[in-house]
Amino acid sequence: MGPMETPTRRQKPLVECVPNFSEGRDPRAVEKIAAAMAGVAGATLLSCEMGEDAHRSVMTLIGSPEAVCEAAFRGITTAGEVIDMRRHRGAHPRLGAADVCPLVPLRDVSMPECVAMACELGRRVGEEAGIPVYLYREAATRPAYRYLANVRRGQYEGLPERLRREDGLPDFGPAIFNAGSGASIIGARDILIALNVSLSTADPAIARDIARKLRESGEAIRENGRTLVYREGCYPAGMDGFLGGDFRATRAHCREKLGFDPAELLLMRGKDPNKPEGEAVFRPGKFPGLRAIGWYLPHYRQAQISMNIENYRLAPPHLILEKVRELAGARGVAVVGSELIGLAPRDWFLEAGAYYGKLQGISEVLPEQGLIGLVIAAMGLDQVAPFDAEKKILRVND
């Protein structure tokens, strides 16, 4: 280092963890879980949100890799003590008390390092707490488990039968049904934005229909009132007139001409791409990396589209909401408002603010708070539940 050079200050590694717990109605139980995680030095609990209808709480913590993993372990084991899955009924799909626990690299941590952390956390939960653990997303040990819905398939109620099957064995922990805690799903992924959009209808069928149009996995194609399926020697692309004599030819055509891979659509639904015969032909939805379901929430008396946006740069939440508004309007329904579950990155808020500023013809340069205010108003982020922007923005380098 020369005399005029100054050492570069390296920031400390930072990891995010967003554990989801199957308890949204008992504040005391949720507080015990939150306290267990918040008590770890080096980990900061940023948010804790309870959902009564979903019967679920989502917490967000950040910190050093070691501290976050220890906090997650304590949260998972505490959840196993204070939640009894035998009594759990809610709108949200779930596999266990500590349902899903993703680790997210934020700063100076690689995805492979987060995968290693997820595996070590899974091993501890399995061995020390006796809870079956399945790995998902970047940590998945089987292709279908890259998609969370496949890991949850059959839910808690299907666990006893699943654990008896060779293809249902957990990655860590005993292959024994733990009636109280169920199983946990642990993995590594990139930053995800969770957005729920409420509609001016109580009909969940409308929400489900819109969700199918939006999500990457799409919807089954119907012709003459019947669902189109793949058959031996007959593999239609479904979106044009192409008919492949084998699935490989259809995959090549769809990837080159239509921009999607039908094998990946099969995998998203837990189907074997090597055995497509008899499976429905699907067309993809509009947004890549979007997972979406529709449901009815009695507490609000509204249908809602619940979405996980796995790549907010490819599928910006504000553009998704505007598409929901368009599709809902075509069905005579309005968007009442939206909910941001957990935190969202600062750069997305600023991008969305610039979008709505341009849409509204605002020519002056707005400060950060002005841009964020535009997003809140345009997306109705404060219409379904109270919204505190400072508690919702993920600031990695602050």
In sequence order, the β-bridge partners of residue 135 are: 186
Look at residue 72 and give its three-state secondary structure: helix
299 is catalytic: no
Q: How many helices (H) and strands (E) does the chain have?
A: 11, 19
Q: Which of 55, 88, 92, 318 is catalytic?
A: 92
Structure tokens at 380: 């109705």
Q: How far apart are CA 284 and CA 239, in angstroms?
A: 10
Find tokens 């229909």 and name the residue: 209
Look at residue 213 and give its three-state secondary structure: helix
Decide if 80 contacts 131 (C-beta within 8 A): yes
Taking every pair of C-alpha atoms in the chain, what is the biggest distance, in angstroms?
Answer: 79
Closest CA to 48 of 84, 91, 93, 79: 79
| Alpha-helical regions (H) of 218-307 | 247-253, 262-268
Find tokens 């007959």 and name the residue: 234
Query: β-pairing, 184-188 with 133-137?
Result: parallel
User: In this structure, which amino acid lies at residue 184?
Assistant: S
> How many alpha carbons lie under 13 Å from residue 361 in its C-beta half-sphere?
0
Q: How far apart are CA 19 and CA 103, in angstroms?
A: 9
Query: How is residue 146 annotated by DSSP?
Result: G
Distance of CA 43 to the CA centre of its chain: 22
User: In this structure, which amino acid lies at residue 361?
Assistant: G
Closest CA to 54 of 306, 373, 332, 345: 306
Q: How far apart are CA 234 and CA 171, in angstroms?
A: 37
Residues acting as catalytic residues: 92
